[in-house]
Chain A
Amino acid sequence: MKPLSEQELSEIVVNAKTPLNIVGGGTWQARNNAEQLYTSGLSGVSLYEPEALTLVAKAGTPLVEIEDLLAKNGQCLPFEPNNLAALQGVKAIPTIGGVVATNASGPRRISAGACRDSLIGVRFVDGNGVVIKNGGRVMKNVTGYDLVKLMSGSFGTLGVLTEVSFKLLPAAQASATVLVFEDEKTCAATMAAALGSPFDVSGAAHIDGITAVRVAGLAGSVEYRAAALASLLDGKIGKFNWQALRDVQAFADQKGDVWRFSVKPSEGPELAAGLRRLGASKIMFDWAGGLLWVLAPTGLDLRKAEYQGHAMLIRGHALPVFQPQPAPVAALEKALRAKFDPKNILNADRMT
């Protein structure tokens, strides 16, 4: 089914008696054969005010369309959304609604926040078919409960997004990366030193013996900060493929499951060692050591490692995708879901 308006979508949900799988670009394949509900009929930028740093778009709008429009105006989505289609082994064109539903956020998250931090408004159709709006198109808004945050990262289980609004940032006029060649054991300390400096770091990662620290902004400022960081970290200015890291390209053509761990940055290297002992084969660090992308043999349960934080199975079929929550939190989540989707028809196999 492919509704062409919010109203049509609402009618579909009202009349639905069996589960629906919501499909944006199709990056995240469902594990069941429920009927597909495509959002691609709800597409287009509804409002763009560069001087107010705001953009409103229909949920089915391809991400690339938005990024092109913003680039032409020297602006960008602050959270550097990733594209995991290649990693997932699918030919998908990510939509902005899918970005929001999965809270897809790249390396810049450590300075500019996640998708949920830039998202300022949503419209959605809940599981009763009711059209709901929350937030709006202004960047400061505390009017009523913040369902905007709740919808971001809820994987379509609370409602079908129809329109989303963002605050934007000026695109960086220049950027530079400082490289430090070191073992992964010491990388978290290096990245902590970078983030603990006044030099406004917008990316900090470690892959295969290279720690990379990025600064971005006005040209003169970037030159100054990169030199200062190179001196502070005893590194040198060099090249690093941030987009490849963002999209986890290194694991795309590798066999096995792909996991994402979010932990306290200083605990990243120790967790990595534990994961390797369990059998993980490759590990990359983003978010100053707080995010681990992990390649592991199919079906190996890496949640057996010791860590404080959370782990998500990004690619793989044998194990639960989402980490179970502690009982009191799980009870609240279940009750919320039952309110938003009492028929339990929206992406029923997600977030369980």
Chain B
Amino acid sequence: MQMPVANAEIIARKAEIVARLRSVLPIDAVIDDPVATKVYECDALSAYRCPPLAVVLPASTIQTAAVLKACHEMGVPVVPRGSGTSLAGGAMPTADSVVLGVARLDQVLETDYENRFIRVQSGRTNLSVTGAVETNGFFYAPDPSSQLACAIAGNIAMNSGGAHCLKYGVTTNNLLGVTMVTMAGEIIELGGAYLGSAGYDLLGLICGSEGQLGVVTEATLRILAKPEGARPVLIGFDSNEVAGACVSDIIRAGVLPVAIEFMDRPVIRAVENFVNAGYPDVKALLIIEVEGSETEIDEQLGKIVKIAKRHNPVELRESGSEAESANIWKGRKAAFGAMGQINDYMCLDGTIPVSQLPVVLRRITELSDEYGLDVGNVFHAGDGNMHPLILYDANKSGDLEKCEAMGAEILKLCVEVGGCLTGEHGVGIEKRDLMYEQFNRDDLEIQMMVKDVFDPKWLLNSAKVFPLTASEARRG
């Protein structure tokens, strides 16, 4: 993975830059010791690392504005960082950059149950947002797998999804407003505790812009009343195609489960070895969850089971208790860990039209044979967001490159069948150079023109999203 050549002139000015940062922030909010900055050298795409010039940890919107204004005036690049859980390298620094971490912005500012929103500082973790409102019977819907650690700032930057977005949508559908600081240090408010906007939907534009348009310091989030209950059913099939057809039939029948998760045999076996969830040894497994009162759950599951039975499932297990529900989910939740126990893996994130599922799964199996790398598939089947996990050995020379080449082929395939490169992880550095597979020059040019408006000097997280060749002239 190529990164832009660091600006030696900026690195040479380190002492001056750090002094200026210290002049606008509390003493302990600026980190420049090379040992301490190493902590920030990568995110969850840990194959790529580079310690930044310095790290700043502002504790307020005012401090964030001050530090961005200083960096803007000095012409120093800034890389915003939530909790560093990006799988796409969204928070990966360059050697000439200042990492702006939002970890100290962790306060709940306002909870309003009558109007169903919570206003938080953006460094607060996803799960702790729900934690702040659940005793009152509410929750925050987007639930990325990293929700214990990931920050709302990162969720907004990447427009994070989760297992339950078939019903509740992704971050952008649950975001009501933000306080954002532009690279020039200007504080702007977008949206609020009401619906819609008087002008352009800049809130929608900011969400998913991978920290390239501004640094979000506060967010107003929609919270929802918790359903009375939820119950999953586990259905095993002897082929991926039949499982895919079953998903299609359920959706066509007018039932909308909150989650439809799909696992193929390599993942099922890895999970069984890892946590003994009691999964049947089948080719494909669906976990389908519905919500509501007991009678509503019975009504929905009744329909789902009836449809599933038409597809001759090898196994059909309706949860009869909380413990059984937990057991059904246990394996799914441990899937990434189980694969990680076997070897290093690369997790892809392409989305495909649900109708293309059987074709794509077949082609992935062929690619796995061609490249000699094992692949497991575990994904959100209801919305077509795939997560092929390609196993490789980081200590074996050439294996990572081989894995990346195979990953690129799978992502190209996703685009070819009508889908996209990334459904919820973001482009970051990982998929940056594949952008021409999905977009032509005009499509990318207008996106870069948007960045020109918010960050004319291209100082904010500029080595991400766009192919380096495309953004070169602007990055200077």
Contacts and interface: CB of A to CB of B under 8 A. Distances in A.
Interface in A192-227: 192, 195-198, 200, 218, 220-221, 224-225
B293 A224 contact: yes
Contacts of A220: 295-296, 299
Given A198-B225, A220-B296, A264-B194, A143 B354 contact: no
B186 interface: yes
B354 A51 contact: yes
B207 A224 contact: no
B37 interface: no
A49 B419 CA distance: 14
Contacts of A277: none
Nearest to A263: B194
B421 interface: yes
Interface stretch (A19-27, A30-38, A57-65, A166-174): A166-174
Of B161, B169, B195, B352, chain A has the most CB atoms within 10 Å of the CB of: B195
Contacts of A336: 200, 450, 453
A314 interface: no
Interface in A255-275: 262-266
B340 interface: no
Contact of B195 (A138, A148, A225, A291): A291
A339 B190 contact: no
Interface string A297-333: 0000000000011111000000000111110111011
B198 A310 contact: yes
Contacts of B380: 140
Contacts of B256: 169-170
Contacts of B198: 310-312, 322-325
Nearest to B298: A220
Given A146-B159, A200-B227, A322-B199, A136 B418 contact: yes
Interface in A327-346: 328-330, 332-333, 335-336, 339-340
Nearest to A191: B114
Contacts, number: 261
Contacts of B41: none
Given A53-B251, A133-B439, A138-B353, A117 B225 contact: no
B386 to A, nearest CB: 10
Interface residues of B, number: 91
A158 B189 CA distance: 22
Nearest to B446: A132
Interface in B238-294: 248-249, 251-256, 292-293
A195 B444 CA distance: 41
Contact of B196 (A114, A150, A328): A114
A116 B252 contact: no
B103 to A, nearest CB: 23
Of B161, B203, B208, chain A has the most CB atoms within 10 Å of the CB of: B208
Contacts of B23: none
A137 interface: yes
A131 interface: yes
A49 B423 contact: no
Contacts of A147: 205, 446-447, 450
A339 B292 CA distance: 48
Name the interface size band of chain A: 35 or more
A134 B444 CA distance: 9
B115 interface: yes
Interface of A (DSSP majority class): mixed
B120 to A, nearest CB: 17
B98 interface: no
A189 B115 CA distance: 10
A111 to B, nearest CB: 9
B315 interface: no
A341 to B, nearest CB: 11
A137 B418 contact: yes
B384 A138 contact: yes
A142 B423 contact: yes
Given A52-B353, A312-B198, A325-B199, A143 B422 contact: yes
A278 B207 CA distance: 38
A146 B195 contact: no
A145 B115 contact: no
A332 B453 contact: yes
Given A144-B465, A196-B114, A103 B196 contact: yes
B83 interface: no
A263 B435 CA distance: 39
A111 B35 CA distance: 49
Interface stretch (B6-14, B402-410, B424-432): B424-432
Closest 6 CB pairs of A and B: A149-B204, A310-B198, A51-B248, A170-B254, A140-B423, A309-B194
Given A133-B439, A150-B201, A171-B254, 16 more contacts: A51-B248, A51-B354, A74-B254, A126-B446, A132-B442, A140-B161, A142-B159, A142-B424, A149-B172, A153-B197, A221-B295, A221-B300, A264-B193, A265-B115, A326-B188, A328-B186
7 contacts: A117-B172, A132-B446, A141-B423, A145-B450, A195-B225, A310-B194, A339-B449
